[in-house]
């Protein structure tokens, strides 16, 4: 069995970062029927570029077409399927059986992957999807490790299982939520979720109209509906043993720093598992704590529904992303600033080979070579001294503790 580390991308730059930091494949949204905001919808030309660059590295590109379609949208789908086929994509991720059928008829050479939004919870359902041309299923997130293993046992060998291993989770069953549509008119199942489960709510008793009681654990309140983030690093090997072949990171809305850090950590862990060698779990856990995240949980994999509530819905972050390295030479780096830092700050570099640092931000200058005490304008270019091993494309961060 081959194993795939699958990373998200919201734009071409992040797709390149994902590949650089160890992803075997990248999934992204195209211009139609993708379940994320339009700002992370790839135009067809960028899909073609991403596929070409991935194929030159022997990697793959998948496109999400996972919204539930209306009849008036089906007419344009055969042409879209052919456009994606012509762009060279390696698969399409679909939830709607009707969309699957249209794609299978119009572009039968493009592999179909069943989206988790289809909430496939058993092998019989997966075999039905197989009859519609599906070659891979992303089961409902509500399945346990044991249930995944049983599904794998009952499926034909050429039907793969893909499972989420990291990232945000939805409080609704397989993502089928109506709160956003009800409160804002923006449907989660049409790619326009406003994430109202992250909002703060109050309680009002029927006989006391106008008297609101906060739902809180502390003075800062509690996000009752807000889900924790999934983190499978401690038990990734059990997912391998269950028969999962593609390990999926959530986050097409996430930053390039988030993608680079999380992909790099899981790349090391998966490689260690496949090589039969121990991992530095302390370091890998630290890396996952260095990105912005809600408190972590194990999702449904052990049968305990504990991913919702129980905290304030706060975001945690051990490091701040400050810059991308544009080029290096003679012990200096030219960087594109993302967030402010000061001369003398202890920085770290996130590289595909691992973390370099901490090292002090010395000889900090603006793009004209004038010394500055702080790099303070995001989007501008600055220069500073860097240790050996840092290269163009690496990311710099500032530890916060």
Cα R_g (the chain), whole angstroms: 22
Q: What pLDDT score does 274 carry?
A: 95
Q: What pLDDT score does 225 carry?
A: 66
| Spans of all domains in the chain | 4-172+226-297, 319-399
CATH number of 4-172+226-297: 3.20.20.70
Task: State the fold for domain 319-399.
Answer: Elongation Factor Tu (Ef-tu); domain 3 (2.40.30)
Two domains, one topology: 4-172+226-297 and 319-399: no
Q: Which of 393, 301, 296 is nearest to 349 (CA)?
A: 393
400, with CB counted inside 10 A (0-12, 13-18, 19+), is: exposed
Q: How far out from the chain centre does Cα 222 lie?
A: 25
Q: What pLDDT score does 365 carry?
A: 98
Average pLDDT per consecutive 10 residues, the chain (401 residues; last block may be shorter): 92 97 97 73 95 98 92 93 97 95 95 94 95 93 95 95 93 71 74 74 77 58 70 98 97 95 98 97 98 92 70 81 97 98 98 96 97 98 98 97 73
């Amino acid at each position: 069995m081959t194993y795939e580390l699958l990373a998200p991308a919201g734009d071409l730059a992040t797709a390149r970062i994902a590949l650089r930091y160890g992803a075997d494949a990248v999934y992204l949204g195209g211009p139609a029927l993708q379940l994320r905001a339009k700002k992370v919808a790839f135009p067809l030309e960028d899909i073609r570029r991403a596929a070409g660059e991935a194929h030159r590295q022997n990697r793959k590109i998948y496109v999400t077409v996972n919204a539930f379609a209306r009849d008036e949208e089906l007419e344009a789908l055969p042409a879209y399927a052919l456009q994606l086929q012509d762009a060279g994509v390696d698969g399409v991720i679909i939830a709607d059986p009707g969309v699957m059928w249209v794609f299978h008829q119009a572009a039968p050479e493009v592999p179909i992957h069943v989206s988790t939004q289809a909430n496939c919870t058993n092998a019989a359902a997966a075999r039905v999807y197989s009859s519609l041309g599906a070659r891979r299923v992303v089961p409902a997130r509500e399945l346990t490790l044991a249930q995944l293993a049983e599904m794998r046992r009952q499926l034909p060998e050429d039907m793969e299982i893909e499972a989420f291993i990291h990232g945000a989770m939805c409080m609704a069953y397989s993502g089928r939520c109506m709160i956003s549509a009800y409160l804002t008119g923006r449907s989660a199942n049409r790619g326009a979720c406003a994430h109202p489960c992250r909002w703060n709510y109050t309680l009002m008793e029927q006989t006391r109209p106008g008297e609101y009681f906060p739902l809180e654990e502390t003075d800062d309140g509690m996000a009752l509906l807000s889900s924790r983030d999934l983190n499978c690093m401690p038990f990734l090997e059990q997912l391998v043993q269950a028969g999962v072949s593609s390990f999926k990171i959530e986050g097409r809305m996430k930053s390039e720093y988030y993608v680079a850090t999380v992909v790099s950590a899981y790349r090391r862990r998966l490689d260690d598992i496949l090589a039969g060698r121990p991992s530095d779990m302390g370091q890998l856990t630290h890396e996952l704590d260095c990105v912005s995240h809600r408190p972590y949980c194990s999702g449904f994999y052990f049968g305990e529904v504990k991913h919702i509530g129980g905290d304030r819905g706060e975001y945690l972050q051990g490091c701040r992303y400050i810059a991308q390295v544009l080029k290096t030479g003679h012990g200096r780096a030219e960087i594109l600033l993302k967030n402010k830092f000061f001369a003398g700050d202890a920085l770290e570099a996130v590289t595909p080979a691992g973390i370099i640092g901490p090292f002090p931000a010395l000889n900090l200058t603006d793009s004209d070579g004038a010394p500055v005490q702080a790099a303070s304008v995001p989007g501008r270019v600055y220069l500073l001294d860097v240790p050996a091993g840092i290269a163009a494309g690496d990311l710099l961060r500032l530890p916060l503790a």
